[in-house]
Structure 1
Amino acid sequence: MTTTEEFDTAVLHSLRLKGRASTSSIAAAIGADEEIAAAVLEANAAKGLVLLRSGRISGWLLTPEGRTNIGERISIEKSTVDLAVMGALYDDEFLKLNGKFKELCTHWQLAGGKAEVVETELTTIHEANLILLERFGASAPRFTKYVARFVSAYDRFRGGEAAALLQPMRESYHDVWLELHEDLLILLDRQREEDD
């Protein structure tokens, strides 16, 4: 990202996906230094697009104006994306991979969180996921930005950090997966299925 508008869009969209997030979480999601993310968040707060809540559940969130603003930006993006290709990839490949990832998560939980039980499964899913992200990125380039986040979570898990697979709000593989899924649903104007 090189322009203020691109940073703004990335920050606002990340908050739309996350709901509420810390500065460090936003920085990780958009691939920026925390200082840059903080400056972008403060600038958007001054415009009334985001606000910082303090208290027991603190973090940044979109204002109604911010939600409208990012909705308009995504609508513009949709006009530049081959939605037929994205929809076919979602239906034919992502949903199958999503099912496999859900099974892996269940397997992991039933096995008491033992890494060796799911390592082979995760590697297979991870490799297929990276290929799929590149294919998504051919139509909508910003989807390639998920690659680094998935690789980081995968490497941390393989390096012994058990929380990097499923723990919420830790930039875990599952966290990133949920955001990717929500991002695709928004782009394609789809609703989440009952079993998702």
Structure 2
Amino acid sequence: MDLEIRENEFLILNYLDVFRVIKDVKKVEKSTGLKSEEVIAYLPKLSEKGFVVKETKGTIESWRITSDGEKVVNSYRQFMLDRTGQREAIIKKFEEFEDVYNVKFKELVTAWQVKIIDGRPVINDHSDPDYDSTILRQILDLHKSVLNILKEIASAIPMFTTYIRRLDYAAKKIEENELEYLIRNEDSYHNVWFELHENVLKFLGRERRE
């Protein structure tokens, strides 16, 4: 396969394909593991290749992926799957994450936010510690199962290793009763899960289902 980009360039383009814009390279660093200086150095090179464009509004600079960038990043995903030598097995792991674990996680997040009382949905005011504790325990149990499947995926596609570390960090914070790490914090379990889920969808070639 004639590759037009290298792995680090893929990581940056993949970030853009998921989030659509880069305004803060620190966020790219957190997501990809690349140093901010590396990201800053790669972006102009990717622009020269026609894969990203730079936009300036006042003093704010941002970068966006082009249609050619979207094509090349998708081709690289296919290369990564083929390179594993176990394409079908990895795709099945992605499908399991999407169709089993993601469905369950969405149910649990909804249950954390909304309680059913007398058959009607009511915003959870978190005044019932037993209810909240039950939901949190289920989320942490789900986390253990998700780590297992992520480790299998990451052994073949190392870029997913970052999600093991970041989800585990948020889960430990939740266990320590820092509950903003479930949804509200920038590094919350929910936010990291969202990013992971978007990447799984990209590898599967699926659109997000609301």
Could you tell me which residue of structure 1 aligns to residue 63 of structure 2? 60
Residue 34 of structure 1 corresponds to 36
TM-score (norm 2): 0.73
Q: How does 1:1-196 map onto structure 2 within 5 Å? A: 5-21=6-22, 22-54=24-56, 59-81=62-84, 82-92=86-96, 94-110=98-114, 111-112=124-125, 116=133, 118-159=135-176, 161-167=178-184, 170-192=186-208, 195-196=209-210
The structure with the larger Rg is 2
- CA shift digits 1:106-129 (9 cap, x unpaired): 122123468746431221111111
Q: Deviations over 1:70-122 (max 9, x none)?
A: 12222322322423212322344542211221012112212346874643122
The superposition leaves residues 156-181 of structure 1 with CA deviations (integer Å, 9 ceiling, x where unpaired) of 4445554432248x243222222222
CA distance in 1, matches of 2:45, 2:168: 30
Counterpart amino acid of 1:126? Answer: H
Find the aligned partners of 2:109 and 2:12 in 1 and give their Cα distance: 28
Query: d(CA) in 1 for partners of 2:61 and 2:134?
Result: 35
**So what's the TM-score if we normalise by structure 1?**
0.77
Gaps of 5+ in 1: none
Does the residue aligned with 2:182 lie in a helix, a strand or coil?
A: helix
- Segments of structure 2 that go 5 or more residues without pairing to the other structure are 115-123
CA, structure 1 residues 133+159, in 2 after alignment: closer, same or farther (shift >3 Å)?
same
Query: Is the contact made by 1:85 and 1:139 (CA closer than 8 Å) also made in structure 2?
Result: no
For the residues of structure 1 that align with 2:98 and 2:47, how far apart are their CA atoms?
35
Q: Which amino acid aligns with 1:65?
A: D
Equivalent pair of 2:108/2:138 in contact (CA under 8 Å): yes
**Going by fraction, where is strand more abundant, 1 or 2?**
2
Distance, in Å, in 2 between the alignment partners of 1:59 and 1:164 is: 28
> More displaced, 159-168 or 17-26?
159-168
